[in-house]
Structure 1
Amino acid sequence: MLCFFTSIFLVGLFCVVRPSFPTDGAAIFNSSTIRDLLISSHQESLQIVNETSLHSKQRQSTLSSSTHVFAFLRQTEPETLEISRAAEVFQTTLKVLKNRAKQRYKRDVTEAELLSWEDVGLIAELSGCPPATHGAACEHSHLSKYRSITGVCNNRQNPLWGAANTALVRWLPAEYEDGVREPKGWNRERLHNGFQLPPPRTVSRRIMRSPLKGTDEVYSNMLVEWGQYIDHDITFTPQSAGTSALWTDVDCFSTCENVHPCYPIEAMCTLVDMAACLFFRSTLACFVNSDSDITQALQRQQMNAITSFIDASTVYGHTPRLERSLRDLSGLNGKLAVNNQFKDPKGRAYLPFIAKHPSACHQDQQGERVECFSAGDSRANEGLPLTTLHTLWLREHNRLAEALKDINSHWSPETVYQETRKIIGALHQIITIRDYIPKIIGPESFDHYIGPYRGYDPTVDPSASNVFATAAFRFGHATISPILRRLNASYQDHERFPHLRLHNTFFSPWRIVKEGGIEPILRGIIGTAASAVSSDNLLAEEVTERLVVIDTMLHMDLASLNLQRGRDHGLPGYNNWREFCGLKPIRTVDDLREEVGNYRVAVKILNVYKHPDNIDIWLGGLVENVLPGSRTGPLFACLIGKQMKALRDGDRFWWEADSVFTQQQRDELLKYSVSRLICDNSDINRVPLDSFRFGKHLSDYVSCDHVPSMHLGAWREEKSEGLQQCGSPGKTKNGDFILSSISGKLVALYSCYHGFKLEGAAAIVCEGNRWSDQPPQCTGNHQ
């Protein structure tokens, strides 16, 4: 054990237990000297990060109304902020260390040369990165039949696989200009394959912008909206929380220079409109993996702040703190909290408001304020269709919870909540894998990359990959319609609520509350054909020129943001990923023409990029010829297919896995559809059987009476013999229990709500005619 005093910035004495790691290049330097450099570098980095954070907070407190949107878009949970700050200290320490070593040794020295795995572990611990979570942490996870809210211990041998606030996984090593942290384009004069990279804004304007969008007569806009919704269930990489640059204290709102975390979009940056080029680098993840190459382990990694699993985290959240805020705990009914100020015209619930008022959302100029809605995902207010889907699932949870409580009156509120959450998660999985993904990647790619379910595989890492989150699953941005149609009960243009340009739907929950509820929007989503995509008809101008508009002239370009994000994350280029998927790399304009089906577009792309290896992955995947029966080309079909298979096969709680549901329950779950969701939770009574497919009203629509529905009798559970003998276990304030059977005995497993600590036996057993102990207490003050 080694103990170090680490200055006033590290209060007290750090005692670090060193893990055993393989030796490496660090042996060529004096280890005690490196250790001294390491400690002093960490002290300096901590001071840099602390001072920068303080300046950012001071600046954010004086932000103008025109920049409130950035504060809102970039809000993250406290747990995420804590880990990302630790990762920032870690990376800053590496940079300080490298600079100091250069001064001492009079030459450029890489971090991998300097550090052993033992040193890396020490930096991670001093920086505050969470310690490695080993399988022993999941020793008692078999006692609970429900997934954790954070995703931890889904895989008992690798507890952090798929968990919230962990690094996006790399299927190919990151490509940074300095090998560690500087993205492509950071040094603007640097040549890649002999040429400078084109600025993202140039690519957007010359290749991607489309003044008009055609329609796809096969699918409805619901296919587009579900893609965004389910993406928010799988990935969320927040932007850096700071607005001040490290080292220089430059304000990101007033610079066109690349100084972390400022990475402005070149060619959009003007002295007249600085906000137009704003781009903050993605939040860092703590990443120390002794199984990988030390160079890769030291590279900058981006965080997935939510669980990777398809688990309805959009409904329930991904942290205990957030989950608690969304529940109606005082009702003792297993339901979710609803809005206590507004209801729809038929008395149905709306999402609750966020706690902080006034919120950043747009307001109607007349009447009461309508704040931003609160949901399991912080992006729920981005657009009206997305908010509508969140509203449907809130209502569905409460509808199912009430029905389950009616047929199982002996269930505790916690059991009602967890069983309903389990069902809702399963429905998200079924709709996505059965109804959505085959339409996106096509039946042949589905069979090739995903195939039939063979059961849970604990060797599969279900974590979201960086390329999926940052490029492949952003294919849907090319399918966004510039117009949101609102339709009446006859699926005709609404008399009172006209169509909206897309930019008028952003952060505008007031339109749901004051303009007819969710029904006009829902009818517009399922009653309007989706936008068509082709290599010469990509993104609507509404998202390349007017992505977000707040009170002043603040315009953003979604295409530029996506391209810049891919470079920020160090994603390898288009050709690297084609080879990864076993596809032929592009070498000539004829090769590219064959893939995009349009010679003019192929020439334009190579004129902009100069070299095929420079093509950004998101652009390259987007322009490929769409496969038969799909909405994507071969590259994105491969990457999406591989990711979906990992999400399914690596999830211990997948709905088809052994012992998750009974066969009778699985049969009932399979009856469900998006159309049933709409029928049960809105005032709409005629829908297509498959709401993802575009049909004509009335000929292709059916009454809700003819849409199959689940029968919850499959969840009826008779009182067990133990429960009849011992009676219901005692309740505990600020906590609850679920019943489980362990070794043939009935056990009550207690847990406390977030903010409270359990004191007493967490599990009591029904023995004979009595419970083995008194219920535990949940103590503390919730904050």
Structure 2
Amino acid sequence: MDYINFNAEGMNGCAEKKNNIFCSTFYPKMTQKEKCSQEKAQDEDDEEYEDEDDEDEDAIQCNAMSREGGGQKAWKFCAVILRALSLVEWVNKRRRIMPFVDALFDALNSVDSATGLEPSVPDGAIVSSQVANAESKKLQFTGDVLEVATQFLVKKYGVGILTDANEVLAELSAPESASFLSQLRTKRQSSSDYSNPPSGQVCQGPPKSCFDPVHDRIRSITGYCNNRDKATQANAVTPIRRLLGTTSYSDSLQAIRNASVTGSPLPSTRLISNKLHDEGSTPNFSPSVNHLHMQIGQFIAHDIIFMPSSVAKDGSNLNCTSCSSPTTVSTNCAPIPAPSDDKYFTPVSKTEARCIRLTRALNGQSGFGVRTQIDQNTHYLDMSVVYGSSDCEAQNVRSFSNGLLKTYTGMGYALPPQTKNDTNCQSKNPYYCFTVGDFRNCLHPGLLPLHTVFIKEHNRLAVKVKSARSSWNDEQIYQFVRSIMVAQWQHIVYNEYLPKLLSDKYLTDFKLKTMKPGSGSFRGYDTGMNAALSGEFAAAAFRFGHSQSRQDFARQDATNKSLGAYDLGYNIFYSDQVYQKSLGGTETMLMGLIKTAAMQVDRYFSFPIRNQLFEIRGQNASGVDLIAVNIMRGRDVGLLPYVKYRDIVGLPKVQNWNDLASTFTAGNIAALKTVYADPADIDLYSGLVMETPISGGQLGPTASWIVAEQFRALKTGDRFYYENQVQNTVGFTQDQIDAIRRVKLAKIFCENTDIITNINVDVFDLNSNQVSCSSIPDIDLKWFL
């Protein structure tokens, strides 16, 4: 192992060869006398660096010794670390700093030299809905090294050293501290070039200033500069936050929680799914909420939540199918054991158990300490699901003509633009998948009607704007329409979607209600509010919608006649359903969502959700159990057990099973006892979906609190929230705000489909009266033009 020795006795110079990385980096202001001699090195591997001049008392000598003969490489590594950490300022504190540098160096070698692990798999061989992009992959290497370095430090010095370690990191220069390890890896592993987009584009980078006029009026694609005081907060590829400020790992750092408070092992999450969450043969449908509510909920989730999965060292997906994959493939594998008597995920053989594949969420930690997860999308409610969360994604969906977004019209009706490069797409020519702002658009066919409608709505408004302002160029029209689209979307979420989910008490207490036309603007913008997603929301509470999903997705025509249904489990990452022109394409699918009931929000989940997610047609057990994954994801990201969150809601503490009686039915408590040894073990996800719903809402008290808290943060922490009027920000006028407040999702459906002429006046209410589309007012652009 390479060993670094810092000698601060004075500058003995550096006789490095030409282009000396150390000298050029650390002594740009050296006098000529102090500059490195350009003498040719005699031995690149064992060279010592000396100079005759020792007058500079503030300079340092960096000697690299190698226990395994890596002198020159160690020297260069030393120089890069020195530059990144700005150690020149810390010469006199070298003894304090050395443990951290040693730990980083050892961690780097440990991560890079792991042999026999992380075999890459061909694109498309492992289907995943959480594929990391280039920016996320850059963070993973840094995060993995810092995770290992943290383990080294804690093992040797104890957890108390982490405070000192992060004090050092806190004083780094931002650009270097954020990227030094990924830059170093580029030097050491030139073959690993996955960090750069194929085109050479920079897909995501900070602007020069958050106070230029552009950021007064335009929401950035990446989320940069939304909060001008904290420019990167809640933008794409940034960390999630924790409601309780802490995590639950078995080693307090990164190891997945695996033991009960009694000392016995925690149950497999597949076992929990089988015993607690199997709907059996009697599906429970909602009496009042339609299937569209589920689908809009998933669209919201895809707008704000994208927690990417870890990747192999070459940037490919990890194959975490085998039960042994944590030791044979990657420590970022966390396969879920299936019980030996499992009826679907049966044992591979008499001697080999079956596991359900799961890759740990990508580690984006930027300091010493606990493993940290990131959101690859912007955290804001900003229609990134349509427009993208990086400049590259945004460019891919634009036509760059008259402000329009791209479409595909080869079927005689509009669809999103096709792509032949989606490695997750299981459909073959001619049923290509599509390119939109979020690559999960083909996760299942029910998403495509919404993607299509919102693309068409953007283009409909763009045509109107071009007609009214013929002198405007493409960029002006695009940004103008995008701002209106985001405003409409936010209004739909807060005015129509959330009131069907949360009780009036939570809407009122968390100030989630929209204001009526003519009632002024919202004055609640708070620069101190962190709009970033909480891990509890992203990895647990907002996954309640999986309970709403039916197995059968209906098609209906304009007369409400059934045109059959397609099976969810048979169509994960298959797009052929939207090409069925004889069945009405996406429009009859949209009508089916409106006119059929959602599943009741409870502890039961449909067969495809529990058994067939990502399944390849004809290959049983080739997919995953989404509910087992949800529970395991909670453990992966360090969510605390359910009972720990009751305090923030004001619920009684839980000391024994009887203490759950106020929020759980007797039947649900009995069911929990069959899998958990103690109520303190209950996983957050299972606890949330098993709470008794509050009157007037679909969720129990703890889930309601977590969801409401998040949407409050997304509202009060968003400088561009549509009802805002904020100083030094060009928002909407009062007339424009009132025009947006009159928008209805039903009208957007009417204007962007051919078959819908009558629609539910309350678009999420299964029993709502239908009204003529012509009776619903359209957004009045006269207030905007």
TM-score (norm 2): 0.78
- Report if the CA contact (8 A) 2:377-2:384 is conserved: yes
- Report if the CA contact (8 A) 2:260-2:677 is conserved: no
- Report if the CA contact (8 A) 2:512-2:711 is conserved: no
Corresponding residue for 1:758?
A: none
Corresponding residue for 2:241?
A: 169
Distance 1:420 1:45, change over 3 A: farther
Distance 1:392 1:201, change over 3 A: same
Corresponding residue for 2:381?
A: 310
Matched, 1:227 2:297: yes
Corresponding residue for 1:608?
A: 675
- Report if the CA contact (8 A) 2:247-2:638 is conserved: yes
- Matches of 1:420 and 1:706 in 2, distance apart? 24
Letter of the 2:140 counterpart: S
From 479, 485, 493, the equivalent of 2:548 is: 479
Distance 1:673 1:252, change over 3 A: same
- Matches of 1:191 and 1:649 in 2, distance apart? 39
Corresponding residue for 1:242?
A: 312
Matched, 1:654 2:721: yes
Distance 1:470 1:116, change over 3 A: closer
Find the residue that maps to 2:510 and give its secondary structure. helix
From 146, 152, 166, the equivalent of 2:218 is: 146
From 139, 156, 180, the equivalent of 1:126 is: 180
- Report if the CA contact (8 A) 2:722-2:732 is conserved: yes
Find the residue that maps to 1:609 and give its secondary structure. coil
- Matches of 2:353 and 2:749 in 1, distance apart? 43
- Report if the CA contact (8 A) 1:243-1:262 is conserved: no
From 174, 189, 200, the equivalent of 2:269 is: 200
Q: CA deviation at 1:558?
A: 1.3
Matched, 1:670 2:741: yes
From 227, 230, 251, the equivalent of 1:158 is: 230
Deviations for 1:280-308, whole angstroms, at most 9, x for unmatched residues? 000111334xxxxxxxx610010100101
Q: CA deviation at 1:98?
A: 5.1
Q: CA deviation at 1:119?
A: 5.1
Q: CA deviation at 1:637?
A: 0.7
Q: CA deviation at 1:253?
A: 3.4
Letter of the 2:765 counterpart: R
- Report if the CA contact (8 A) 1:201-1:267 is conserved: yes
Matched, 1:417 2:471: no
Q: CA deviation at 1:167?
A: 0.5
Corresponding residue for 1:708?
A: 777
* Equivalent runs, 1:628-639 vs 2, <5 Å: 628-639=695-706
Corresponding residue for 2:614?
A: 548
* Equivalent runs, 1:507-546 vs 2, <5 Å: 507-514=573-580, 515-535=583-603, 538-546=604-612
Aligned length: 663
Corresponding residue for 2:257?
A: 184
- Matches of 1:581 and 1:31 in 2, distance apart? 43
- Matches of 2:296 and 2:152 in 1, distance apart? 45
Corresponding residue for 2:9?
A: none
Q: CA deviation at 1:12?
A: 9.3
Corresponding residue for 2:127?
A: 69
Distance 1:410 1:116, change over 3 A: closer
Letter of the 1:612 counterpart: P
Distance 1:440 1:109, change over 3 A: closer
Find the residue that maps to 2:662 and give its secondary structure. helix
Distance 1:39 1:258, change over 3 A: closer
RMSD: 3.3
- Matches of 1:305 and 1:601 in 2, distance apart? 36
Corresponding residue for 1:504?
A: 570
Identify unmatched segments of 5+ residues in structure 2: 1-25, 27-58, 65-70, 184-194, 196-204, 340-344, 514-521
Find the residue that maps to 1:556 and give its secondary structure. coil
Find the residue that maps to 1:218 and give its secondary structure. strand
Matched, 1:370 2:440: no
Distance 1:32 1:503, change over 3 A: closer
- Report if the CA contact (8 A) 1:7-1:43 is conserved: no
- Matches of 1:134 and 1:385 in 2, distance apart? 35
Letter of the 1:324 counterpart: Q
Q: CA deviation at 1:435?
A: 0.8
Letter of the 2:716 counterpart: D
Corresponding residue for 2:105?
A: 40
- Report if the CA contact (8 A) 2:121-2:318 is conserved: no
Distance 1:582 1:426, change over 3 A: same
Q: CA deviation at 1:95?
A: 3.5
- Report if the CA contact (8 A) 1:134-1:158 is conserved: no
- Matches of 2:383 and 2:600 in 1, distance apart? 29
Corresponding residue for 1:572?
A: 640
Q: CA deviation at 1:582?
A: 2.1
Deviations for 1:149-186, whole angstroms, at most 9, x for unmatched residues? 1001100111111100001011220111111111112x
Matched, 1:361 2:425: yes
- Matches of 2:612 and 2:471 in 1, distance apart? 54
Deviations for 1:19-45, whole angstroms, at most 9, x for unmatched residues? 89xx9xxx9x94254155235324414
Corresponding residue for 1:645?
A: 712
Letter of the 1:47 counterpart: D
From 115, 124, 142, the equivalent of 1:86 is: 142
Corresponding residue for 2:39?
A: none
Q: CA deviation at 1:242?
A: 2.3
- Report if the CA contact (8 A) 1:479-1:533 is conserved: yes
- Matches of 2:685 and 2:326 in 1, distance apart? 22
- Report if the CA contact (8 A) 2:510-2:708 is conserved: yes
From 655, 662, 676, the equivalent of 1:594 is: 662
- Matches of 1:504 and 1:706 in 2, distance apart? 39
Deviations for 1:98-138, whole angstroms, at most 9, x for unmatched residues? 56xx4xxxx866762773521575876532399xx999842
- In our comparison, the structure showing a higher alpha carbon Rg is 2
- Matches of 1:220 and 1:251 in 2, distance apart? 37
Distance 1:686 1:362, change over 3 A: farther
Find the residue that maps to 1:499 and give its secondary structure. strand
* Equivalent runs, 1:456-495 vs 2, <5 Å: 456-494=525-563
Corresponding residue for 1:733?
A: none
Matched, 1:321 2:392: yes
Letter of the 2:127 counterpart: V
Find the residue that maps to 2:598 and give its secondary structure. strand
- Matches of 1:617 and 1:141 in 2, distance apart? 44
Q: CA deviation at 1:199?
A: 1.2
Letter of the 2:323 counterpart: T
- Report if the CA contact (8 A) 1:352-1:374 is conserved: yes
Distance 1:506 1:95, change over 3 A: same
- Report if the CA contact (8 A) 2:240-2:373 is conserved: yes
Corresponding residue for 1:431?
A: 492
Quote the sequence identity (%): 25
Corresponding residue for 1:292?
A: none
- Report if the CA contact (8 A) 1:177-1:183 is conserved: yes
- Matches of 1:30 and 1:414 in 2, distance apart? 55
Letter of the 2:168 counterpart: E
- Report if the CA contact (8 A) 2:137-2:315 is conserved: no
Distance 1:279 1:440, change over 3 A: same
Distance 1:398 1:201, change over 3 A: same
